[in-house]
Amino acid sequence: MNPEQLRAALRVYLVLGSPNCAGRDPVQVLAAALDGGITMVQFREKGPGALEGASRLALGGALRRLCTQRGVPFIVNDDVALALELGADGVHIGQEDEPAALVRQRAPGLIVGVSAHNQAEAESAVAAGADYLGVGPQYVTRTKLDAREVQGPAGLRRMRDAGIRALLVGIGGIDAGNAAAVLAAGADGVAVVSALTQARDPRAAAAELSRVTAAPLRG
């Protein structure tokens, strides 16, 4: 996948696992979101009640097959071995996870995304070969219990102004009401969790996000 293809894929990026889906079947939630127009998926099976072992592998496989059928890239959070077993398109890692350079060695050819919360982390990730950076939290979020201080779109803008030219996706508390501000600050796309996984109608919520992000307001 070349940079322009990846940039397009990052536009509406759904991050999900069973703990995020309010008791609903994650496969059904994903199917509805895909119908609504999401462009990339990350399997993040973490938090209270997260599946383990064979159950986790089975869910990942089901989500992977659905993404393959729809032609949408499938990323695995923080588990290179699982990504390789599932035939994922990429891996996303945080600052406390395996270094990006080592992930690149273990999984050549896969997309590597890295979470970055400030300029130093962004520069380090780019130097290590990250294909894109997840920047946040943009807004208040309860999805991650260890979430850092809210950066807001201004934090993302500071990265751009300081010379970071990598592909950036904003994450943290984003929904259709505030996604445009994240794009205007310099993001190439938005990553969402509860805005879709806990929506009454995930398809409609995804369609609205797709509409809002269709014409990025880069400023």
Catalytic residues: 44, 115, 144
Residue carrying structure tokens 């695995």: 76
3-state SS class at 3: helix
Alpha-carbon span 216 to 69, nearest angstrom = 27
Asked if residue 90 lies in contact with residue 76, where contact means CB atoms within 8 angstroms, the answer is yes
Residue carrying structure tokens 């592909």: 167
- Give the Cβ contact number of residue 98 at 10 Å: 14
Alpha-carbon span 45 to 51, nearest angstrom = 7
Peptide bond into 137 cis (omega under 30): yes
What's the count of helices (H) and strands (E) in the chain, helices before strands? Answer: 10, 8
Helix or strand (DSSP H, E) at 28: helix 26-36
The set of residues, in sequence order, having a beta carbon less than 8 Å from that of 109 and lying 6+ positions away, is none
Alpha-carbon span 68 to 183, nearest angstrom = 27
